[in-house]
Chain A
Amino acid sequence: MKSIQATNDFVVKFANVNGSGSASANELFAKCILRMGVPVSPRNIFPSNIQGLPTWYEVRVSEAGWLGRRGGYDLLVAMNPQTWDADVAGLAAGGYLFYDNSKPLPAAKFRDDITVIGVPLTDLANRNWREPRQRQLFKNIMYLGALSVLLGIERDVVVGLIGEQYKSKPALLEPNVHALDLGREHAQTKLAPIGLKIERRDAVGGRIFVDGNSATALGMVYGGATVCAWYPITPSSSVAEAFQKYCAKFRVDPQTGQHRYAIVQAEDEIASIGMVTGAGWNGARAFTATSGPGISLMNEIIGLAYFAEIPVTLVNVQRGGPSTGMPTRTQQSDVAFCAHASHGDTRHVLLFPQDPHECFEFAAAALDLADRLQTPVFLLSDLDIGMNQRLCEPFAWDAERRYDRGKVLTAEQLEAGVPFGRYRDVDGDGIPYRTYPGTHPARGSFFTRGTSKNADARYSERGEDYIENMQRLQRKLDTAKALLPQPVLEPAGQAARCGVIHFGSTAPAMGEAIAHLQAQGLHLDALRVRGYPFAEAVRDFIDAHERVFVVEQNRDGQLRSLLIEQFEIDPARLVAILHYDGTPITARFIVRAIGERIGVAQAAPAPGAQVAVA
């Protein structure tokens, strides 16, 4: 049998039962590898339930720094009998199966092309602990201990991390370390070494390890959001929860203990967006966090905010749709929907973060943009970014940065006689001036409505007034193009005839795919789009290439449609590469799909672990 031999480049999959406390042990595992200087990217794969059903945690170890999902797994930690058969069947040939052998399993439950590693976790737990919950929890730490020995993870690293985790609960430190050492001792005395190894490197650097939803929430705190209205929905709930956590830490008046924020868990998403709209109208920075079904419900008020020109920031952590769709799976399938949300002619500003670093940056930027443009701004994250911890550049904040509150006339300006008409295009950029309610006793009041009006905000059904207003809104969205985060060009090493456009959570898999295609002699220029409406540079990029692949995680090629729509491009020049099964896109998939279309499929073997003869 050929066993996989790999150092710092393999995938470990943990198959657990939801609610068994495995999540923290698994996270500890990932962090240990990071502390040894080797990049990892873990992903939670979980169904829509709380307790008892299967859940998986997949850790990709990649010294090269590839953070996309690889596909396949080389080491399986099989802790869930319910999914045993499928989990074992999916293990790579030559891979390793780690399991609890307290109870004997029939030979048919195994494969003969894998290495089986049995540890009597239940027996060990029963021998050492009395409480059922303790037995369960320490079983997780014991497998962590055994794995640390098998893979060469330093004990000091694990103990250090456990110490950090239980800094505030020192009583838990000792039993956890004891469980760890039980696992380690068993592995050291009873188990043979395996072909997968972690070796210390210095490939992590100053990067941070954080989930996108926490990063978004922190960006909202830094960006000055004071009102958050939300309704619980997977996978976005942790945005509001993290916002609450960060506000409790950073937004409490030190003198009075009172809050410089207001968070309302609304009765539904319609109320959430209504509150955010009311707050934005009244001059507070406000946001809501939701997912596709929530956006569906918010549509009417999104149109109101667009037409009445009210700053609104929406976080959409995308999942699979339509309807309830795949609540716990990832997709980029709300792109076209958000771009044109609500009835009538609408167009909205979208931001596409690629990782938690950009979630932070774009969240704060979204609040500025919403105020500057007086319109809804969508931060389009997804479950893959939002609910997984990702290695990314540290958060950055310029100490000199000031909030851009946009065109707001003050009481002094009104008093000085600055002329005011709510929807006049004074500066030629389509962006009108506004006043906050309560500013001046005699000047600056206006009536906000979703019905047609003239430039002075008076009700009007005159066709000329309506057209003037709608065209100004269009000019305003044109103005937006230059204000949004600009696309990032990643040129091929040499002149390339083909290009690829991608966005959001596809980025890590894309970078890896390009490297593999390049190794096979296929050179692609890549453009990562970060905002909509698209910058002119996107058109230039398309014009400069014979063929452009548009890689996205939805069925209909939604970004591609928006490109065709905005630039009036011949659809044949934009080739859709679509991945939408609910799992994060992989470099393997992209390499194969692009390779097939270019006719070099045979030249591009799937990237992954080096398989060598044991």
Chain B
Amino acid sequence: MTYLPKPKLHHPSLQRNAVGFTRRDYEGAISTLCAGCGHDSISAAIIQACWELEIQPHRVAKISGIGCSSKTPTYFLSASHGFNAVHGRMPSVVTGANLANRDLLYLGVSGDGDSASIGIGQFVHAIRRGVDMVYIVENNGVYGLTKGQFSATADQGSKSKKGAINTDAPVDMVGMALQLGASFVARSFSGDKAQLVPILKAAMSHRGAAFIDVMSPCVAFNNHPGSTRSYDHVREHNHALGRMDFIAPRAAITIDYPPGEVRAVRQHDGSTLLLRKLPEDYAVADRVGAMNYLHACQARGEIVTGLLYVDPAADDLHAHLDTVGTPLNKLGENELCPGRDALEKINASLR
């Protein structure tokens, strides 16, 4: 956290991507979150992912609910339209926005309070409808803005900063997303940018509901011994499920790993996910296998991170509704209004 505004002028030598933007063009306002907050690392990863993906910033809509995590869209992609909606209702707002214009990239940013408690119903239904979006939960197990209450993802037995023990069982959003039919499910850690950036890029390139649960420690209220969301705890219990490289469409794929160690998954947009160091019997397109693996890790007290599941051929809500290719917000009278003659026929049928 800094109160010094960043200079608007960029150094002319800054590298530009294929669509003519520097990395700085993907930044947002100065974060007002606490120094060391995991959420700021996630914002940095989003900036990095968008720059590397060569996305035009104005073709992104960033939408959030309420909470620390939901404040973050202000801190990245300032050239994108943003919408800080109400608590727990980001999924429905994204659903409507997506229906209005299928051509934008939708980043839904939420937290564990926003999505696992008040908004769990909307999380459930946006995922099961297959809304084409990247659904990011910045998961710290605690309510930060209201100063340290447990959230619904806090582990049973974990300790609050004030010493209270959480007695409720946790909501596991990754398990739920798998069960609900999300076509891309990953978990990552805000402290592991090397893992998070390719996951974000893969999710942004995915068509359908892409869900990413990001462990994002709260330095103010949930980073102490006894917490299961502290930097130390997550690092110690992180079970990385292989590594993934994201290869953009049309980019040359060079594999310098021994044969058999890499598996390639090609997504509908032509991008390729190179998965390595996966357990031999792990199939990333096997939903049931992913659920079993997740639960087995959980039973061992491990936090599994990485890409757990992807259906590269998934479709989305627009496909289910069979909507036209033109964004609905671009249709005019000619396409929408049946006209006066049709109305006369309707009138005649009602006499």
Contact = CB atoms under 8 A, between A and B. Distances in A.
Interface stretch (B1-9, B147-155, B183-191, B342-350): B342-350
Interface string B307-351: 000000000011001111100110111011111101100110011
Given A284-B100, A448-B82, A438 B61 contact: yes
Contact of B95 (A224, A275, A284): A275
A266 to B, nearest CB: 7
A251 interface: yes
Contacts of A401: 333
Interface string A439-483: 111100111111100000001000000000000000000000000
Contacts of B96: 227, 229, 274-282, 284, 286
Interface size class of B (residues with CB under 8 A): 35 or more
B225 interface: no
Given A259-B322, A277-B96, A397-B340, A403 B332 contact: yes
Contact of A262 (B104, B321, B351): B321
A250 B338 contact: yes
User: Interface majority SS on B: helix, strand, loop or mixed?
Assistant: helix
A395 interface: yes
Contacts of B103: 438
Contacts of A445: 57-58, 78-82
Given A271-B122, A278-B97, A263 B321 contact: yes
Contacts of A281: 83, 93, 96-97, 100
B341 to A, nearest CB: 9
A370 to B, nearest CB: 14
Nearest to B326: A260
Contacts of A257: 322
A438 B323 contact: no
Contacts of A271: 89, 91-92, 95, 121-122, 125
B336 A251 contact: yes
A451 B329 CA distance: 26
Interface stretch (A71-79, A205-213, A571-579): A205-213
B81 A259 contact: no
Interface in A257-311: 257-264, 266-268, 270-284, 286, 300-301, 304, 308
B129 interface: yes
A193 interface: no
B351 A284 contact: no
B272 interface: no
A207 B350 CA distance: 9
Interface string B84-108: 1110010111111111110110000
A602 interface: no
Interface of A: 34, 204, 206-210, 218, 221-224, 226-227, 229, 250-251, 253, 256-264, 266-268, 270-284, 286, 300-301, 304, 308, 394-399, 401-403, 435-442, 445-451, 459
Given A226-B329, A279-B100, A438-B59, 17 more contacts: A204-B351, A210-B350, A224-B337, A229-B92, A260-B331, A262-B318, A271-B125, A276-B96, A283-B100, A283-B101, A284-B100, A301-B85, A308-B83, A399-B339, A442-B58, A445-B80, A447-B82
23 contacts: A208-B350, A224-B337, A227-B328, A256-B324, A258-B322, A259-B323, A266-B92, A271-B89, A276-B96, A278-B83, A281-B100, A283-B329, A284-B100, A300-B89, A397-B337, A437-B97, A438-B58, A438-B101, A441-B58, A442-B58, A445-B82, A448-B81, A450-B86
- Closest 7 A/B residue pairs (Cβ): A274-B92, A278-B96, A284-B100, A275-B96, A437-B81, A283-B329, A282-B100
